[in-house]
Amino acid sequence: MKSKKILALAFVMSCIAALAGCNTTPDNSSQYTNAVETSHKNSHSNIANPQVLDVKGSITGYDTKEYIFHAQANQVLRVVRQNTSDDVVLNLLYLGNNNKTSELSGDFQVLPYTGDYKLIVSQTRNDARKHASTEIKFNLKAFITDQQQPSNQQNYVVNYKCDSNENLSVTYHFNNQKTSATVTYDNISQQLNFDDQYSKKNNPVFSNNNYLLSVGTINDGVFGDSMVYSLLDLKKSKGGYALLQNCQKL
């Protein structure tokens, strides 16, 4: 069982690294909603509505695509990748006067300042050089929400929509500072215990003998601001079979 969980965690970490590396269901929608696409050299315009960004496109070599949105300090940015190549890299740049934003994540980030931000879609230099003429496709959905506070409830329900367009419901149970999670999906209802061995800061993991749930948070214990990286079935394969991935809080 221990070796099975190690393989499953290796699978999860590879998915987290790209947040799309293990997609299961393509999204064939093709539209820009409330977004302004800008080239690397063009001037920039703001997204009219900062609540949702829905963009689909492609890049080649050293090309970049850039999208500008406005947000308030302490709001949370979450980007869900759908049918997106592993080679796509997301960087986030604050366009205001404060330039201390070099470590901002373009996938999942508490936004430190009020103002305009630029989401930059690109490849690593190494990938751009190796695949100079290869079209790299992406399909991104961004959500900006207010930051949640820790819940005093003993049971806290969070509903998610996953990249396969399926719903996942997770009830987080708090009892004497111990946390567990009940996962409800399709005909599955399983209680998973907090896994001390594999959990990391802002990446709690819950598991039992059958399933493993990997969650991403921005503040430990605040599941109101969370996304599910993956729900794995440990019975179907040694390394864990991905039932659901990249699940965005509704």
Give the residue, 146 or 8, on which the prediction is more confident: 146
pLDDT for 46: 37
Sheet with 37-38: strands ordered across: 37-38, 65-71, 115-122, 89-94
Q: Which two tokens stand for residue 38?
A: 């800008």
- Residue 103: pLDDT band with limits 50, 70, 90: low
CA pseudo-torsion sign 176, 12, 220, 244? negative
Q: Which residues contact 13 (CB under 8 A, 6 or more apart)?
A: none
- Supply 138's token pair: 């992406």
Each residue of 234-246: pLDDT tens digit?
A: 988 767 799 999 8
Angstrom distances, CA of residue 75 to CA of 30, 62, 93, 194, 240: 27, 31, 15, 27, 34
Residues 118, 209: Cα–Cα separation, whole Å? 43
Amino acid at 100: K
Structure tokens at 8: 């499953």
Task: Convert the pLDDT of each residue in 108-150 to its tens digit.
Answer: 788 888 988 899 999 988 889 988 899 999 988 888 877 766 6
Evaluate if residue 74 carries a pLDDT over 60.
yes
> Cβ(47)–Cβ(37) under 8 Å?
no
Q: Which domains does the chain have, with CATH numbers?
A: 2-23+148-249 (no CATH), 37-146 (2.60.120.380)
Give the chain's mean pLDDT.
Answer: 76
Nearest-angstrom CA–CA distance, 135 and 62: 11
Candidates 4, 3, 53, 11; CA nearest to 214 is 11
Reduced DSSP (H G I as helix, E B as strand, rest coil) percent helix, strand, coil of the chain, to 5: 10, 45, 45
Here the tokens at position 156 are 């806290």
Residue 192 has a pLDDT of 92
Distance CA 141, CA 173 (A): 29
pTM for this structure? 0.54
User: Alpha helices, DSSP H only, in the chain?
Assistant: 2-18, 125-130
Would you place residue 107 in the very low, low, confident or very high pLDDT band (cuts 50, 70, 90)? confident
